[in-house]
Chains A and B, each alone.
Chain A
Amino acid sequence: MTASGGDLCRHCLLPVGPRALQQTINGESCAFCCYGCSIAFQVKNGKTEEWEAAWLLIRLGIGGFLSMNIMLFSLLIYGGVFTGADARVLPVIDILLLILATPTVIILGGPFLRETLVEGARGRLTSSTLIVIGVGAAYVYSAVAVFEKNAQVYFDTATMVLMLFTLGRYLEAAGRARAARDLEPLLAAERENVRVVQNDGTESFCPVREVETGTLVRVRPGERIAVDGVIIGGASRTDEAVITGESRPVEKSVGSAVIAGSINMEGPLLIRSSGSGTATRWAQICRSVREALIRRSPIQRLADRAVAVAVPSVLLLGALTVVYWAQWLPLHRAMLMGVAVLVVACPCAVGLAAPLATSLGIGRLARHGCLVRDASVLESLARVRLLAFDKTGTLTLGKARVVAIETDGTATSEALAMAAGLERHSEHSLGRAVVKAAAVQSVATAFARDVRAIPGRGITGQIDGAIAAAGSLALMHDLNFSIAPALAESGRQAEASGYSVIYVGWAAKTRALISLDDTPVADARLTIDALRARGINAVVLTGDLAPVAHRVAAALGIEDVRAGLAPEDKRIALGGYNRSRDQVAMVGDGLNDGPVLAEADVGIAVGTATDLAREAAAVVLPVGGLWLLPWIVDCARAVSKTVRTNLFWAFGYNFVALTLASLGMLQPIIAAAIMAGSSILVVLNSLRLERLPEPASSPQAQDRSAGAQGIHHELGLPVALGAVIEQS
Chain B
Amino acid sequence: MTYYVVVFAAGFAGSFHCIGMCGGFACGLGRDPRGRAATALRHLLYNSGRLTTYCFLGALAGALGQIICTRQGTTFSLMGGSLDALERVLATVAGLLMIAMALQFFGLLQAFHRLTAGFVSSTFAISLRSLMTTRNRAAPLAFGVFNGFLPCPLVYAFAAEAASTFQALPGLLTMAAFGLGTFPAMLMMGGVGRVLAPAWRQRGVWLAGSCILLLGIITLGRGILPFGAHVAHGFLGGHPA
Binding site for B on A (CB under 8 A): 43-44, 46-48, 53-55, 57-62, 64-65, 68-69, 71-72, 75-76, 78-81, 171, 174
- Is the CB–CB distance between B59 and A54 below 8 Å? no
- Is the CB–CB distance between B63 and A54 below 8 Å? no
Cβ-defined partner of A75 (8 Å) among B59, B130, B133: B59
- Nearest CB of A to B67, in Å: 9
Q: Chain A residues with Cβ under 8 A from B59's Cβ?
A: 71-72, 75-76
- Is the CB–CB distance between A79 and B142 below 8 Å? no
- Is the CB–CB distance between B49 and A53 below 8 Å? no
- Nearest CB of B to A223, in Å: 23
Complexed CA–CA distance, A58 and B143 (Å): 8
User: B126 at the A/B interface (Cβ < 8 Å)?
Assistant: yes
Q: Chain B residues with Cβ under 8 A from A81's Cβ?
A: 168-169, 241
Cβ-defined partner of B75 (8 Å) among A53, A60, A80: A80
- Is the CB–CB distance between B168 and A61 below 8 Å? no
Q: Chain A residues with Cβ under 8 A from B66's Cβ?
A: 79
Q: A58-B136, A61-B145 are in contact. Are A48 and B172 (CB under 8 A)?
A: no
Q: A54-B136, A65-B145, A174-B123 are in contact. Are A43 and B130 (CB under 8 A)?
A: yes
User: B93 at the A/B interface (Cβ < 8 Å)?
Assistant: no
- Is the CB–CB distance between B141 and A76 below 8 Å? no
Complexed CA–CA distance, A174 and B62 (Å): 30
Q: A79-B167, A81-B168 are in contact. Are A58 and B63 (CB under 8 A)?
A: no
- Nearest CB of A to B145, in Å: 5
Contact with A along B114-140 (1 / 0, CB 8 A): 000000000100110011111010110
- Closest 10 pairs (CB-CB, A-B): A61-B142, A79-B168, A68-B56, A75-B168, A54-B134, A75-B59, A61-B145, A58-B142, A48-B130, A64-B145
- Nearest CB of B to A209, in Å: 31
Q: A65-B142, A75-B60 are in contact. Are A54 and B131 (CB under 8 A)?
A: yes
Complexed CA–CA distance, A18 and B169 (Å): 48
Q: Chain A residues with Cβ under 8 A from B49's Cβ?
A: 61, 65
Q: Chain A residues with Cβ under 8 A from B139's Cβ?
A: 54, 57-58, 61
User: B53 at the A/B interface (Cβ < 8 Å)?
Assistant: yes
Complexed CA–CA distance, A81 and B240 (Å): 11
Q: Can you spell out 30 A-B residue pairs with CB atoms less than 8 angstroms apart?
A: A43-B123, A43-B126, A43-B130, A44-B126, A48-B130, A48-B131, A48-B134, A53-B130, A54-B130, A57-B130, A57-B134, A60-B142, A61-B49, A61-B138, A61-B139, A61-B142, A61-B146, A62-B142, A64-B145, A64-B146, A65-B145, A68-B53, A68-B56, A68-B145, A75-B62, A75-B63, A75-B168, A76-B59, A78-B168, A79-B169
Q: Chain A residues with Cβ under 8 A from B123's Cβ?
A: 43, 171, 174
Cβ-defined partner of B141 (8 Å) among A44, A61, A71, A174: A61
User: B18 at the A/B interface (Cβ < 8 Å)?
Assistant: no
Q: Chain B residues with Cβ under 8 A from A44's Cβ?
A: 126
- Is the CB–CB distance between A72 and B145 below 8 Å? no
Complexed CA–CA distance, A437 and B66 (Å): 83
Q: A61-B143, A75-B59, A81-B169 are in contact. Are A68 and B131 (CB under 8 A)?
A: no
Beta-carbon nearest neighbor of B169 in chain A = A81
Beta-carbon nearest neighbor of A55 in chain B = B136
- Nearest CB of A to B89, in Å: 21
B60-117 contacts to A (CB < 8 Å): 60, 62-63, 66, 75
Cβ-defined partner of B131 (8 Å) among A61, A64, A65: A61
User: B55 at the A/B interface (Cβ < 8 Å)?
Assistant: yes
- Nearest CB of A to B48, in Å: 8
Cβ-defined partner of B56 (8 Å) among A43, A54, A72: A72
Chain B residues within 8 Å of chain A by Cβ, number = 33
Main secondary structure of the interface of B (DSSP, over half): helix
User: B202 at the A/B interface (Cβ < 8 Å)?
Assistant: no
User: B39 at the A/B interface (Cβ < 8 Å)?
Assistant: no
- Is the CB–CB distance between A46 and B130 below 8 Å? yes
Complexed CA–CA distance, A79 and B58 (Å): 13
Further contacts, 16 of them, CB under 8 A, given A65-B49, A79-B169: A43-B127, A54-B130, A54-B136, A54-B139, A55-B136, A57-B131, A57-B142, A58-B131, A58-B139, A59-B142, A61-B138, A62-B141, A64-B142, A71-B60, A72-B172, A75-B59
Q: Chain A residues with Cβ under 8 A from B56's Cβ?
A: 68-69, 71-72
Complexed CA–CA distance, A64 and B132 (Å): 17
Q: Chain B residues with Cβ under 8 A from A79's Cβ?
A: 62-63, 66, 75, 167-169
Beta-carbon nearest neighbor of B142 in chain A = A61
- Is the CB–CB distance between B52 and A65 below 8 Å? yes
- Nearest CB of B to A50, in Å: 9
Q: Chain A residues with Cβ under 8 A from B126's Cβ?
A: 43-44
Beta-carbon nearest neighbor of A67 in chain B = B56
Complexed CA–CA distance, A346 and B141 (Å): 31
Residue in A47, A72, A79 with the greatest tally of chain B CB atoms within 10 Å: A79
Q: Chain A residues with Cβ under 8 A from B127's Cβ?
A: 43, 57
B223-241 contacts to A (CB < 8 Å): 241
Q: Chain A residues with Cβ under 8 A from B134's Cβ?
A: 48, 54, 57-58
Complexed CA–CA distance, A171 and B124 (Å): 11
- Is the CB–CB distance between A68 and B52 below 8 Å? yes
Complexed CA–CA distance, A76 and B66 (Å): 11
Residue in B59, B62, B136 with the greatest tally of chain A CB atoms within 10 Å: B59
Complexed CA–CA distance, A379 and B62 (Å): 48
Beta-carbon nearest neighbor of A77 in chain B = B168
- Nearest CB of A to B54, in Å: 10
- Is the CB–CB distance between B133 and A48 below 8 Å? yes
Q: Chain B residues with Cβ under 8 A from A54's Cβ?
A: 130-131, 134, 136, 139
Complexed CA–CA distance, A58 and B55 (Å): 20
Q: Chain A residues with Cβ under 8 A from B132's Cβ?
A: 48
Q: Chain A residues with Cβ under 8 A from B142's Cβ?
A: 57-62, 64-65
Complexed CA–CA distance, A60 and B49 (Å): 12
Q: Chain B residues with Cβ under 8 A from A68's Cβ?
A: 52-53, 55-56, 145
Complexed CA–CA distance, A43 and B53 (Å): 20
B133-183 contacts to A (CB < 8 Å): 133-134, 136, 138-139, 141-146, 167-169, 172
Complexed CA–CA distance, A47 and B63 (Å): 39
Beta-carbon nearest neighbor of B176 in chain A = A72
Complexed CA–CA distance, A81 and B75 (Å): 10
Beta-carbon nearest neighbor of B75 in chain A = A80
Complexed CA–CA distance, A76 and B169 (Å): 6
Q: Chain A residues with Cβ under 8 A from B143's Cβ?
A: 61
- Is the CB–CB distance between B168 and A76 below 8 Å? yes
- Is the CB–CB distance between B138 and A58 below 8 Å? yes
Q: Chain B residues with Cβ under 8 A from A62's Cβ?
A: 138, 141-142, 145
Q: Chain B residues with Cβ under 8 A from A75's Cβ?
A: 59-60, 62-63, 168, 172
Complexed CA–CA distance, A577 and B145 (Å): 64
- Nearest CB of B to A160, in Å: 11
Beta-carbon nearest neighbor of B123 in chain A = A174
Complexed CA–CA distance, A60 and B62 (Å): 25
Q: Chain B residues with Cβ under 8 A from A69's Cβ?
A: 52, 56
- Nearest CB of B to A176, in Å: 13
Complexed CA–CA distance, A522 and B234 (Å): 79
Residue in B49, B127, B143, B145 with the greatest tally of chain A CB atoms within 10 Å: B127
- Nearest CB of A to B118, in Å: 15
Complexed CA–CA distance, A57 and B130 (Å): 9
Beta-carbon nearest neighbor of A72 in chain B = B59
Q: Chain A residues with Cβ under 8 A from B168's Cβ?
A: 75-76, 78-79, 81
Complexed CA–CA distance, A55 and B63 (Å): 33
Q: Chain B residues with Cβ under 8 A from A61's Cβ?
A: 49, 131, 138-139, 141-146
Complexed CA–CA distance, A58 and B60 (Å): 23
Q: A58-B139, A61-B49, A61-B141 are in contact. Are A78 and B133 (CB under 8 A)?
A: no
Complexed CA–CA distance, A654 and B241 (Å): 39
- Nearest CB of A to B185, in Å: 22
- Nearest CB of B to A181, in Å: 14
Q: Chain B residues with Cβ under 8 A from A46's Cβ?
A: 130
- Nearest CB of B to A41, in Å: 12
- Nearest CB of A to B239, in Å: 13
